[in-house]
Structure 1
Amino acid sequence: MAGAPVVSAAVTREGRLKAALKANMARRKAQARGRAEGSGPEVGTHGQRGGDLGSGEGG
């Protein structure tokens, strides 16, 4: 009976991965719809102000 827990753990892990993948895909689809509509925050701009890159002396 030592094999049963291993199979059970694999099935449990597979179920968790499947649920996480489904949630990730739903989130990505929602982001894509938001970008297509032109609403919502832009990806990669969190915490950055425009014009700050390369605005200093030196370097």
Structure 2
Amino acid sequence: MHRNPASRLVNAFMSKSDEAKLREQRLAAKLRENLKRRKAQVRARSDSQSRAPEPSGKPEQGDAD
């Protein structure tokens, strides 16, 4: 990732431990976003599968006339 010049200037005045803390915070935020996105994908898949009728060769009970 390319940093903008302003972030380089800020980092010039930060200690290595402060930079490491900021990096960990950014990574933690990205991981939370990723987890939320994956959970939403799983929910969407399970919702679409639960709504779709199961393909089977047998007619449903209400369809037998």
What is the TM-score with the length of structure 2 in the denominator?
0.57
Q: What is the CA–CA distance in structure 1 between the aligned matches of 2:25 and 2:52, rounded to whole Å? A: 41
Q: Percent identity?
A: 13
- Of Structure 1 and Structure 2, which has the larger fraction of its residues in helix? 2
Q: CA RMSD in A?
A: 1.2
Structure with the larger RCO, 1 or 2 (CA within 8 Å, 6+ apart): 2
User: Structure 1: which 4+ aligned runs deviate by more than 4 Å?
Assistant: none
Deviation of residue 2 (structure 1)? 1.7
List runs of 5+ in structure 1 lacking aligned partners. 40-59
Highest Rg: 1 or 2?
2
